[in-house]
Structure 1
Amino acid sequence: MKTTTLTKRSVFTPQLRKRMLIGAGAGLAVVGFFVLTAGKGNPAWGDYWRIKPLLLTPALGAVTGLCYDVTEPLRGMKGWPGKVFLVLSALEFLVGQWLGLVLGLAGTMWH
């Protein structure tokens, strides 16, 4: 008779913090480049237009890191399904970063 031990498995991996920081850092680096190279910006944007993209884009970047972490069991599958999920997870990360940049710059640099 085969017995198995049931253990409680966490939804998140130990690398969650690292992945979220990488996502937030990547978002901050990209949006920081756009914000710093914009100069004064359009006067119609207001005086504090830089605050929204500098807060929103890194926050959404951290969410992309969270989503990447949640898909860890799928990426760990053996064979071609694991490789497919690896590519899909990388695409999710890139699309999520792009959408975070779009939402952060919406109403200012992104019309």
Structure 2
Amino acid sequence: MMMVQQNEIQNQPVNMAASGKRMLAGAVIGVVLISLFLVGVGAPDPGWEKLWTIRPLVIVPFAGAIGGLCNYFFVRFHHKAGVSKAVAVILSVVVFILGLWLGFVLGLDGTLWN
């Protein structure tokens, strides 16, 4: 009798509710941070487009949501990589911060980020 080997990742499906909550949390953090940043802009440059704030308000929360998803995968599958949970959490926080920073750069490019 021949036994078929199953992939270990198939045994642990992605929990859509948990990953969605982490993505939502990351997006909310992104919205709050970029909103606080944009509220501080007094008089925008007249050379900027009329609706220049829409771009950062879309890109930064998206970057935060992707960072939340990375957090889910790092923490959920840390044992597959052979690292402790503490290392996975620290790494996911670093990746989240870097991703959020890149979201700020992409969102504010051409306006406040010159």
Structure 1: runs of 5+ lacking an equivalent: 1-5
Alignment correspondent of 1:16: 19
Corresponding position of 1:96? 99
- Matched-pair contact (CA < 8 Å) for 1:31–1:53: yes
Which one of 40, 52, 67 corresponds to residue 64 of structure 1?
Answer: 67
Q: Provide the alpha-carbon RMSD of the alignment.
A: 2.0
Q: Which residue of 1 aligns with 2:3?
A: none
Is the Cα–Cα contact under 8 Å of residues 57 and 104 in structure 1 kept in the other structure?
yes
Which runs of at least 4 in structure 1 moved beyond 3 Å after TM superposition?
11-14
Letter in 1 for 2:83: P
Q: Establish whether residue 48 from structure 1 lines up as the match of residue 51 from structure 2.
A: yes
How many pairs were matched up? 102
- 2:77 pairs, out of 61, 73, 76, with 73
The CA distance in 2 between the partners of 1:23 and 1:35, in whole Å, is 18
TM-score normalised by L of structure 1: 0.80
After TM superposition, the structure 1 stretch with the greater mean CA deviation from structure 2, 63-72 or 8-17, is: 8-17
CA contact (8 A) 1:12 1:69 kept: no
TM-score (norm 2): 0.78
CA contact (8 A) 2:71 2:89 kept: no
**Runs of 5+ consecutive residues of structure 2 not aligned to the other structure:** 1-5
SS at match of 1:43: coil
